[in-house]
Structure 1
Amino acid sequence: MEPANQFALLRQRRFAPFFWTQFLGALNDNLFKFALTVLVTYQLQLAWLPPAYAGLVIGALFISPFLLFSATSGQLADRFDKRALMRAVKTLEIAIMALAAWGFVGQHVALLLGCVFLMGLHSTLFGPVKYAYLPQHLGEHELTGGNGMVEMGTFVAILLGNVAGGLLIALPESGAQLAAAACVALALLGRLSAQLIPPSPAADPGLPINWNPVTETWRNLRLAHGNLVVFRSMLGISWMWFFGAVFLSQFPAFAKEVLHGDEHVASLLLVVFSVGIGAGSLLCERLSRRQVEIGLVPFGAIGMSLFAIDLYFAVRALPAPAAGLQGLGAFAARGASWRLLIDLGALALCAGLYSVPMYALVQMRAQPTHRARVIAANNILNALFMVASSLIAALMLRAGLDIPQIFLAMGLANALVAAYIFLLVPEYLLRFASYIASHCMYRFRVEGREHIPATGPALLACNHVSYVDALLIAAASPRPIRFLMDHRIFATPLLGWLFRLAKAIPIAPQREDPEAYERAFARACQALEDGELVGIFPEGAITRDGRLQPFKGGIMKILRSHPVPVVPLALHNLWGSSFSRIDGGPLMSRPLRRGLFNRVGLVAGAPLAAAMLASPEHLRERIEELLGV
């Protein structure tokens, strides 16, 4: 049975051991890296590793395995049982942390840097397994919540790891020993948690392993590119890592040089950012009503830009500081500081809204047999974008931009990148419009959502009550729908643009334009052959009196050549709303007639086999039953 909410997953064996395994791994990664950074920055004086370059070197060593070995790890995750792989990876972590403990106690920095590379390898091997595991054990309606929990856990682990690593290594005399013990203990706990993960059979047990990372990386990228929606969503995820990496990398210098705050102020910025990401990730399930709702992605993108831009102006509004570095108390005492913290937290929250639905979409739409390799390709792109973010931030600093100006540039660039991605993948914009219609204009409820098939071709047949019927139906569907729509609606400025982006199929009456009529049905049949959903309004026009009109014969014309299942749909309570044609008037002739937020609904009936429909009237009778007529 599906849990009541995402937190209930923590009580189920199919999710809880996996969650704690990945949480402990992320916690250990960050505790180890931050403890090492503090060690070489404050406690040791190394001519060959100046403190200014310590963070850069450690970050580069950790990220390099993602570029080198992600392709191989994706193959392993598709080839072998994921539980066995996770156990093997966590056993490797114990060995790496034992070496690191020796390095901490003996202050062997070269050995510790080698362990950074090995921990990067550990994370590289774990990444594809982690994201391929979720859709294997979670239902479609749990995927957004599960991803939200994982993203929240990851950023909480990053925060706790950085705090714990800094506190432990700073303890006099015993700091290195305590940091070493903590790393080994976390590795042991992670291995114990992995022991409880349930079996996860291989997706492609016969897959031959290509050990050449260069050719396999290229092959994985081409494999991901085979599904353009998935590939472009991966680019969107990678951009989010680019965007976030710029902010995270600049927090220490931003706190010291711009805010004139001490290390506690820098830690506060990290806390606010991490909590914001976690809150946004968890909020996704509630806002999406437990489905993969990519309509949230534009909301997140808009918020990321708006709050990044306002962050620039919030910094400019700060009063001149007193001499010296301020502590938390002095920083919080300035009222203008709270605007800055709100901007930063809201920006991070929007980044969570942006990324979680994209991750869920990639997992849901990637073919199960090579899902892990697609996720490995995503990890490669993420690593490349993060490396590029460091280089571009460095170039902007060398060009004379200060840190607030870099944040402003990121906000503006995010708006351009997001607009480009949404135009390349118009499904995001259509789902955004559907989300607004179903959540902001109406109180929309769906009954029988499970009858709309997640895979395979099908016809969706619905009564036609208003100009926003297609948007509401799209909001209830787990995947895009190609609607057959009256050609005149394409002349409506906003709706026409949206439906053209969504590849809706314009249809004209046969007596008016026979060629356009036949062309529309040919395109609908081709969409069914391609395994898509096709939406049709069998009445042929929006009702003018609120009653179900006689059905035309177009649906039978399609079924004669393509006998696919037909899902009957019934829209309730839309008649009389602003977008209906009450009294025979045109669109919005009675603005806000019934007000916003009135309750409307969609009922989906069980799919009907094409052989059961002898005439359009049989389908009309079924929809009348769903309407309660």
Structure 2
Amino acid sequence: MSPHSLIFNKKFWPLCCTQFFGAFNDNFFKNALVILITFQSMNLGGFSPEQLIALCGGIFIFPFFLFSALAGQMADKYEKARLIVYVKILEFFIMSLAVLGFMIGSLPVLLSALFLMGLQSSLFSPLKYSYIPQQVSSDKLVEANALLQSSTFLAILMGTIFGGIVVAIPGSGTFYVSIGVMGLSVIGLLFSVGIPKASSLDAKLSIQYNPFTATCNLIHYIFTKKNIRLPILGLAWFWFYGAALLSLIPGYGKKVLGGNEQVVIFLLTLFSIGIGLGCIACKMVSRHQLKLGLIPIGALGLSVFLFDLFFQFPNVTNSHQSLVMFKDFIKKPGSFRIIFDFSMIAFSGGLFFVPLMTFLQTTSSKPHLSRVIAGSNIIDAIFMVLASFTLIFLFSLGLNEPEIFLFLAVLNLIVTGYLSMSFMRK
């Protein structure tokens, strides 16, 4: 089998395409909604646009707390391919609700659709990550995770960019966004129908429908199993670090670099592409084996290049009143070093993520794998919310973006240093 054959493997590529169009649709819809709130005065009560955008993030994440435990149980009990089709059918109806919201200009309806998209994502996540080890041989598991994750970040990037572009079309932006979300949901559904069956891993499982009891039991199970606790904490830290950094990029691009929207979009693009390339590099280096040694290398890169961004601060601070376009930004001293640093931070994130996810999949008990992935999603959501509160606290202390970069770089060394030593002992 050739090194690239997994891309064309009928057990893998339908899932990968389903995930790609799902992630594309999520971010296409979310960013279109954010642009409407920010630039087209769509409001709700007395909330400011900034508060509404923050609310959107919370609305999308909240279902992961409520439904992840139930989603994990269902994915372990029932045949996964059929469940994935049902989830994609649900996405179609959710997007129909979103279209209604766009048609009548109702923000409450659109926020309801956003909440349901979070529900749909919480149901799909344990299905996709537990499906892969069932259908892909162990020597291809790193490659599968690398391809899935790199394509996902590409989809996130494309959805974010096109969502902003399409909704901004004068006079008919919401109409074209409506066509887009419905079309993407149909394409994802068509690909999901081609996913081969994956047998139930625990058909006799008795499902706990109380979300609070199920979530508490799942988290307790995770923290009593050291072999899965470590990778889950590592993945949660990845999302803490990523959520914090992505939240800082707009302010850094505008206030520190003096760039306009083009510069900010470019930095976000670097981030998505860099992670994807890091995932692919992990596949190439691993050569069909799990290489835990990539975790400390990726972790070190997450700090080293963030340190360098901090030390660039005195050289790049904006001294002009007007914001510069991308073509002017790249002419400024130090701009290529900043581009390199952002690219390498994201690349290091890809090296850090793939071995952690693969390790979690290979060490988890197979009958519990979907529930473990669901539990990981819950911990990830907690860490992302914690990242938001951490940034609020640091800004309240008067720190600026480069100084918070320094804080994150030091904290990353501490957290990943502990995780890396623990993995090396294993």
- Tell me the equivalent position of 1:232: 230
Please tell me whether the aligned partners of residues 295 and 420 of structure 2 are also in contact (alpha carbons under 8 angstroms): no
1:13 aligns with 2:17: no
Paired residue secondary structure (2:334): helix
SS at match of 2:330: helix
Q: Which residue of 2 aligns with 1:201?
A: 199
1:113 — aligned with what? 111
Aligned-partner residue type, residue 231 of structure 2: S
Determine the C-alpha separation between the residues in 2 that align with 1:143 and 1:258: 41
Alignment of 1:325-340 (within 5 A): 325-340=323-338
Aligned to 1:507: none
1:85 aligns with 2:89: no
User: How many angstroms does 1:287 deviate by?
Assistant: 1.0
Q: Which residue of 2 aligns with 1:272?
A: 270
Q: CA deviation at 1:52?
A: 1.3
| Equivalent residue letter for 2:12 | F
Q: In the TM superposition, what are the counterparts of 1:596-615 in structure 2 within 5 Å? A: none
Matches within 5 A, 1:187-198: 187-198=185-196
- Cα distance between partner residues in 2 of 1:220 and 1:94: 30
The aligned counterpart of 2:183 is 185
- 1:312 is matched with which residue? 310
Paired residues for 1:220-619 under 5 Å: 220-318=218-316, 320-423=318-421, 425=422, 428-429=423-424, 501=425
Asked whether the 8 Å contact 1:277–1:348 carries over to 2, the reply is yes
Any conservation in 2 of the 1:140–1:292 contact (CA below 8 Å)?
no
Q: Following the alignment from structure 1 to structure 2, what is the Cα–Cα distance between the partners of residues 359 and 234?
A: 8
Q: Name the structure 2 match of 1:572.
A: none
- Show the counterpart of 2:94: 96
Change (3 A) 1:124 1:52: same
* Bigger helix fraction: 2
Query: What TM-score comes out, normalization by structure 2 length?
Result: 0.98
Question: Would the aligned equivalents of 2:256 and 2:316 in 1 still touch at CA under 8 Å?
Answer: no
Distance 1:131 1:65 in 2: 18
Which one-letter code corresponds to 2:212 in the other structure? V
1:132 counterpart residue number: 130
SS at match of 1:104: helix
Residue 350 of structure 1 aligns to a residue whose secondary structure is helix
Query: In the alignment, what sits opposite 1:28?
Result: 25
Q: The residue matched to 2:199 in structure 1 has which SS? A: coil
Deviation at 1:127, TM superposition (A): 0.5
Letter in 2 for 1:12: N
* Alpha-carbon distance in 1 for matches of 2:199, 2:317: 60
Give 1:222 deviation, angstroms: 2.4
Give secondary structure in 1 for the equivalent of 2:229.
helix
Instruction: Give deviations 1:193-233, integer Å, cap 9, x for gaps.
Output: 00000001111011111001111112112222343021111
* RMSD of aligned residue pairs (Cα, Å): 1.2
Contact 1:315 1:340 in 2 (8 A): no
Shift of 1:320: 4.5
User: Partners in 2 of 1:285 and 1:218 — Cα distance?
Assistant: 35
Unaligned runs of 5+ in 2: none
Say if 2:42 and 2:107, in contact at 8 Å, map to a contact too.
no
The answer (yes or no) to whether the contact 1:293–1:357 under 8 Å persists in 2 is: yes
Q: 2:51 corresponds to which letter in structure 1?
A: Y
Q: Tell me the distance in 2 between the aligned counterparts of 1:352 and 1:9.
A: 19
CA distance in 2, matches of 1:151, 1:31: 18
Distance change in 2, residues 1:45/1:222 (3 Å): closer
Deviation per residue, 1:520-557 (Å, 9 max, x gap) = xxxxxxxxxxxxxxxxxxxxxxxxxxxxxxxxxxxxxx
Deviation at 1:72, TM superposition (A): 0.5
**In structure 2, distance between residues paired with 1:211 and 1:55:** 31
* Bigger share in strand: 1
User: 1:319 Cα shift?
Assistant: 5.8
Structure 2 CA distance for aligned equivalents of residues 405 and 4 of structure 1: 47
Tell me how far apart the structure 2 counterparts of residues 74 and 319 of structure 1 sit (CA, whole Å): 47
Structure with greater contact order relative to length (CA < 8 Å, sep ≥ 6): 2
Tell me the secondary structure at the aligned position of residue 37 of structure 1: helix
In 1: Cα distance, 2:41 partner to 2:290 partner: 49
CA drift of 1:45 comes to: 4.7
Q: Percent identity?
A: 37
Amino acid at match of 2:15: F
Alpha-carbon distance in 2 for matches of 1:265, 1:301: 26
TM-score w.r.t. length of structure 1:
0.66
CA displacement 1:369-391 (0-9 Å, x = unmatched): 11000111100000000000000
2:373 maps to a residue whose letter is I
SS at match of 1:105: helix
Whole-Å Cα distance in 1 between the matches of residues 227 and 370 of structure 2? Answer: 17
- In the alignment, which of 63, 66, 77 is matched to residue 65 of structure 1? 63
Is 1:153 matched up with 2:151?
A: yes
Q: Note the C-alpha offset of 1:21.
A: 0.3
- 1:236·1:421 contact (CA, 8 Å) conserved in 2? yes
CA distance in 1, matches of 2:196, 2:241: 36
Distance across 2 between alignment mates of 1:377 and 1:207: 17
Partners of 2:74 and 2:11 lie apart in 1 by 21
Contact kept, 8 Å, 2:256 with 2:318, in 1: the verdict is no
Cα distance in structure 2, aligned partners of 1:420 and 1:257: 34
